[in-house]
Amino acid sequence: MIKATLKKKISPRVVINGHPWIFANEVNTVDGEVDPGDIVEVYTHDKKFVGKGYINPASQILIRLLTRDKNETINEDFFYRRLLQAWNYRQQIGYSENCRLIFGEADLLPQLIIDKFNDYFVIQTLALGIDKWKPAIVAALNKIFTPKGIYERNDVPVRELEGLQQIKGFLSEPFDTKITINENGLKFLVDIENGQKTGYFLDQQDNRRAIQHIVKGADVLGAFTYTGTFEIHAAAYGAKSVLGLDISENAVAQANRNAKLNGVENIVKFEAENAFDKLKQWAKEGRQYDVVMLDPPSFTKTRENIQKAITGYKEINLRGMKLVKPGGFLVTSSCTNLVQPDLFLEIIQMAAKDARRKIRQVCFQPQSADHPIVWGWENTHYLKFLIIQVD
Ligand code: SAH
């Protein structure tokens, strides 16, 4: 077995906080001939065992740990046990029909994502060391569930940093990749093959319920709607009118189909528009809504661009707030882990100051619990969902 020895001075992340990432500059020596993706044993400078994980010399994160147990062998059965554990946990906390079955690091399976949409599974293997185990992961899914289909959405640019190609396709017999899921008593079409990410944003599934009371009888504006999930929830919860904007024609077409599927097409309309422009224009024109909902994409994936992201969030929330009637509500999200919760609240506070509005917090919560937050591992708490009353 190849052995990696850490430097004496490394960040407390790995050894004390138990985070699975080991950066190349934290490793002193690697003994043995390394094939990218190999399993290696990691030791501290004074020869204490740290864990076993996969190595990729092409990646800045040289090693990602899979286990802290010296006696655990990484083989097909290991992946079966990990998937079963994750599935048991999801059921224990009340998620079974649709859930993120594996949330990478938080499930101790770095860079593996598996979303379960009733009997269908969508997989992403975002690092070489986990990609190698794809057959074992698929075997485990087949053993635990009776999947109607398994699909890989590895058309993700980060794979290139690992020397992997972007690909997508079936990992089971081919099936119709346009499926329907139930969420909170509503139906949504999920396009597994061509939708964004894995096809659907499960991380907002609980937050969509949080708008239930504030939208009754309301005129609602939603921006960054994707397939219209929040907006269709709003209509089902009794909104008077709902207008949703997304820049993607495909998303808008699917959102309109979803509205029909739920019989709310007379209440909800979706339009393909640039939300930045429209919100600015409508705020200038003095349009007013009872509820404005914003769920923009991540404005940055790198720390270097963090200032740009802060400016983006402030700007969009400022425009959103201006469109809220006094006493109405702003429902706003941020999905980048680089903007941590405190910073997000600060940004909203700055926007309120600029808009000269007083705000009162209704709720502030993270992603749904099927995407577990491991305390001390910042990147596992990535979604911020806030409802405020705007006076
Ligand atoms: N609220 C959705 C997820 C939104 S994801 C849900 O819960 O399912 C972010 C969306 O913002 C994407 O659909 C993307 O197409 C859209 N988007 C990105 N830039 C935009 C822009 N400038 N104007 C409008 N929509 C935009």
Q: What is residue 10's predicted lDDT score, i.e. its pLDDT?
A: 87
Q: How far is the CA of 110 from the centre of ligand 1 (A)?
A: 27
- Six-digit token string for 371: 């995407």
Q: How far is the CA of 374 from the centre of ligand 1 (A)?
A: 27
With a cut of 70, which residues of the chain have pLDDT below it?
A: none
Ligand 1: lining residues by beta carbon, under 6 Å: 196, 201, 204, 224-227, 229-230, 245-248, 251, 274-276, 295-297
Which residue, judged by its Cα, is nearest atom 19 of ligand 1? 247
What are the strands of the beta sheet with 21-23, ordered from one edge? 21-23, 61-67, 49-55, 39-43, 2-6, 27-31
CA angle 283, 204, 370 (to 5 degrees): 160
Give buried/exposed letters for 332-349 (b at 16+ CB in 10 A, else e). Answer: bbbbbbbbbbebbeebbe
Q: Mutation test of ligand 1: which of 196, 200, 225 has the most ligand atoms closer than 8 Å to its C-beta?
A: 225
Please give the full DSSP string across 3-31, using - where no structure is assigned: EEEE-SS--HHHHTS--SEEEGGGEEEEE
Q: What is residue 304's predicted lDDT score, i.e. its pLDDT?
A: 84
Secondary structure (3-state) at 32: coil
CATH architecture of 76-176: 2-Layer Sandwich (3.30)
Q: Where are the domains of the chain?
A: 2-67, 76-176, 201-390
Contact 152, 167 (CB under 8 A): yes
Q: What is residue 193's predicted lDDT score, i.e. its pLDDT?
A: 98
Count of Cβ atoms closer than 10 Å to residue 55 Cβ:
26
Angle between helices 249-261 and 229-236 (to 10 degrees): 30
Bridging pattern class, strands 268-272 and 27-31 = unpaired
Q: Mutation test of ligand 1: which of 205, 224, 271, 336 has the most ligand atoms closer than 8 Å to its C-beta?
A: 224
Record: fold of 2-67 = 2.30.130
Q: How far is the CA of 28 from the centre of ligand 1 (A)?
A: 44
Q: 373: which DSSP letter? A: P
Contact 21, 62 (CB under 8 A): no
* Closest approach atom of ligand 1 to CA 275: 23
Q: What is residue 16's predicted lDDT score, i.e. its pLDDT?
A: 77
Bridging pattern class, strands 186-191 and 384-390 = unpaired
CA angle 305, 309, 313 (to 5 degrees): 175
Q: How far is the CA of 225 from the centre of ligand 1 (A)?
A: 5
Report helix, strand and coil shares of the chain as percent, to nearest 5. 30, 30, 40
Which residue, judged by its Cα, is nearest atom 16 of ligand 1? 224
Please give the full DSSP string across 99-156, using - where no structure is assigned: EEEEEGGGGT-TTEEEEEETTEEEEEE-SHHHHTTHHHHHHHHHHHS--SEEEEEE--
CATH class of 201-390: alpha beta
* Closest approach atom of ligand 1 to CA 201: 8
Q: How far is the CA of 156 from the centre of ligand 1 (A)?
A: 17
